[in-house]
Structure 1
């Protein structure tokens, strides 16, 4: 079972299901008004509820997943996600739907902590860079699938069909993975769980230059990239707008799976991440010199493609034990949700106040700061 690509791909597929928990609402957001005509601001909470859970409970999820055991936590989260989607397919009243989204956030967190930790254990040393780079594409792929297939399904068949299909997807992966995860190696000592250990673990994670490094970079990546994809389209030439916005995520995934994987075989993952942030900062300078230029947008996509996969590959390179890897993945979930939550409103406010130039300046400074912090954390690791 060790080093099994079918199992690695199945765990990635489970990650796609977790990313679809975000994407299935985002791609039909403009359609939700027909189901909830009096929804108002509550519809916005339907999108952000999952992310809010991640900010508050990212590290707690890592502790619980380690205590429950990764296999049980992953399977339980998949079944919970399937049940929630089935409930959503009934289009319950808005308060009930928001409660289901809250529960769905718990399912999402458990999957994004347990699945990459299991992948890191299953993959051989030679496979690990490619396997975790593949994992790093799960959000981009899921949003593309939902945009190309999920939204048309909701429009032509109805919103309940989309939620129902997602329930079937999650249950299918739970059934497939259940017998195949039984032969994994022992996961070590069961960690204690209490309020004291929750606080102590947060302190330990964010004091450790080994555990927190991937998450610190991930905060700035999510802050910039998702916000840029959201606020950039109005500045693009309408004749190429759809082409550029549809191509950027695909370019990032392609670079991550080709150039990124090749680099990871020769260069430590953190160095690849630092190079990616440096190139991203240069691409923002390019976008400042040539406002909303298509080639500059592709340059940004290339740069973030290096950041995506290498950030996840850095987790097992910096942390040897499954428990430390789960903590690092939990911190990445926490910081990633924080970046996703803050990025778009901060960028939108900056654009409203200072116009287009604030986009490359703000994002460029954030990319530079991420690179500087990664270099500083690497210095702390050398000293320790």
Structure 2
């Protein structure tokens, strides 16, 4: 925490986030090339994608404890070095079982990065800039995917999939060196590990720690599933591929807008407002003629994008010390990965049972549940 924001360090840490997003994008956006490299069935290859999310579901909260105990700078440097080495090893075309193991370990590195980096961003920022800095961080995943997607055609043609993995490994190691040289060490925590179940029970009974994660959980349940299933129903006169590509980019507008709004509206209230407006937009989508559907969907995704930015802004707003911020980030990582993992199966069931209306009804119910959960947690925070 400082009286002024060190924007050079903030942008360095945002670059770290882009490299973390590439840990997903380097496989999910090159699935055909991956299938050519490893002659395995699609479900087997999909394990290499879900391994990273699985680590987040199981170990998200533990990453928060590790960052609080050992310090975000040390954890971040170690995770970047580990991620870089793993990418370089993957570029050697490991036997497939070892490749899957490397992805599981890479998931642990990814988790440590996305918990430690925002804690450091808060440390090098002035309090007045917290909402904007956290909104910037909230956009790392979408921006990272967009940048990798733009560069992939040229990179695949020039250096191939193995070259992309090697380049990513070198980038991670270079970022580790930059973080080590540009960011100073902070005080270490004195937390004693209480045990897996005790720690989770303590974390999720603390309203200030869990409130950002609850809001983020409701968002991730809807967001990734909507990107998968919604475009064919709302494209109207526009090409489905174009709409599918624009939706995540348009959501970034809402994420960055949240940085402005969260400076004026308490972040938890802003999350609730986002979900209230989302329910209204879903009702309009259900009633709109096909010609208006894509434009309403674009507006809906701006509103949907406000929630994750507000969730990250809520972390320093509700937790004023590094330990609380690290643990809240751990809860956000754990619940976010859980929401991403559960969302697509739930919406697939809704699509099968009720078609397009089923998707909208489920999204509205999740948004309403998010409003109720955040209202309840706000009451607990006030009482506390």
Q: TM-score, normalised by structure 1?
A: 0.94
| Map of 2:141 onto structure 1 | 139
For residue 185 of structure 1, report the CA deviation from its aligned partner: 4.1
**Per-residue deviation, residues 320-361 of structure 1 (Å, max 9, x unmatched):** 111111111001100010011111122112212321211111
Q: Supply the distance in 1 between the matched residues of 2:289 and 2:308 (Cα, whole angstroms).
A: 25
Q: Supply the distance in 2 between the matched residues of 1:155 and 1:349 (Cα, whole angstroms).
A: 39
| Map of 1:209 onto structure 2 | 207
For residue 40 of structure 1, report the CA deviation from its aligned partner: 4.3
The structure-2 alpha-carbon separation of the partners of 1:289 and 1:107, relative to structure 1 and needing over 3 Å to count, comes to: same
Q: Specify which of 226, 229, 243 is matched with residue 228 of structure 1.
A: 226
Q: Is 1:28–1:151's contact at 8 Å kept on the other side of the alignment?
A: no
| Map of 1:368 onto structure 2 | 368
Q: Supply the distance in 2 between the matched residues of 1:205 and 1:282 (Cα, whole angstroms).
A: 33
Q: Residues 8-47 of structure 1: matches in 2 within 5 Å?
A: 8-47=10-49
**Per-residue deviation, residues 112-154 of structure 1 (Å, max 9, x unmatched):** 1101111112210111111111000011101111211135423
Unaligned runs of 5+ in 1: none
Q: Specify which of 178, 197, 200 is matched with residue 199 of structure 1.
A: 197
| Map of 2:83 onto structure 1 | 81
Structure 1 position 150 matched with structure 2 position 152: yes
The structure-2 alpha-carbon separation of the partners of 1:361 and 1:82, relative to structure 1 and needing over 3 Å to count, comes to: same
Q: Supply the distance in 1 between the matched residues of 2:156 and 2:303 (Cα, whole angstroms).
A: 34
For residue 159 of structure 1, report the CA deviation from its aligned partner: 0.8
| Map of 1:48 onto structure 2 | 50
Q: Supply the distance in 2 between the matched residues of 1:202 and 1:152 (Cα, whole angstroms).
A: 45
The structure-2 alpha-carbon separation of the partners of 1:33 and 1:238, relative to structure 1 and needing over 3 Å to count, comes to: farther
3-state SS in 1 of match to 2:208: coil
| Map of 1:186 onto structure 2 | 187
3-state SS in 2 of match to 1:157: helix
Q: Supply the distance in 2 between the matched residues of 1:318 and 1:228 (Cα, whole angstroms).
A: 30
Structure 1 position 346 matched with structure 2 position 346: yes
Cα-Cα RMSD: 1.7
Q: Supply the distance in 2 between the matched residues of 1:23 and 1:343 (Cα, whole angstroms).
A: 19
For residue 39 of structure 1, report the CA deviation from its aligned partner: 4.1
For residue 238 of structure 1, report the CA deviation from its aligned partner: 7.0
Unaligned runs of 5+ in 2: none
Q: Specify which of 100, 117, 120 is matched with residue 119 of structure 2.
A: 117
For residue 230 of structure 1, report the CA deviation from its aligned partner: 0.9
Q: Supply the distance in 1 between the matched residues of 2:46 and 2:379 (Cα, whole angstroms).
A: 42
| Map of 1:307 onto structure 2 | 307
Q: Is 1:350–1:358's contact at 8 Å kept on the other side of the alignment?
A: yes
Q: Is 1:39–1:94's contact at 8 Å kept on the other side of the alignment?
A: no
Q: Residues 60-79 of structure 1: matches in 2 within 5 Å?
A: 60-79=62-81
Q: Is 1:86–1:164's contact at 8 Å kept on the other side of the alignment?
A: yes
For residue 242 of structure 1, report the CA deviation from its aligned partner: 2.9
3-state SS in 1 of match to 2:121: helix
**Per-residue deviation, residues 208-267 of structure 1 (Å, max 9, x unmatched):** 11110111111111110011001123333474323322222222222332x322212211
**Per-residue deviation, residues 52-102 of structure 1 (Å, max 9, x unmatched):** 011000011111222222111000000111111111111212111101101
Q: Supply the distance in 2 between the matched residues of 1:291 and 1:41 (Cα, whole angstroms).
A: 38
Identify which range, 145-154 or 358-367, moves more after superposition: 145-154
Q: Supply the distance in 1 between the matched residues of 2:103 and 2:289 (Cα, whole angstroms).
A: 38
| Map of 1:159 onto structure 2 | 161
Q: Supply the distance in 1 between the matched residues of 2:236 and 2:202 (Cα, whole angstroms).
A: 48
Q: Residues 324-343 of structure 1: matches in 2 within 5 Å?
A: 324-343=324-343
Q: Supply the distance in 2 between the matched residues of 1:362 and 1:180 (Cα, whole angstroms).
A: 46
For residue 25 of structure 1, report the CA deviation from its aligned partner: 1.2
Q: Supply the distance in 1 between the matched residues of 2:53 and 2:154 (Cα, whole angstroms).
A: 25
Q: Supply the distance in 1 between the matched residues of 2:21 and 2:140 (Cα, whole angstroms).
A: 7
| Map of 2:276 onto structure 1 | 278
Q: How many equivalent residue pairs?
A: 379
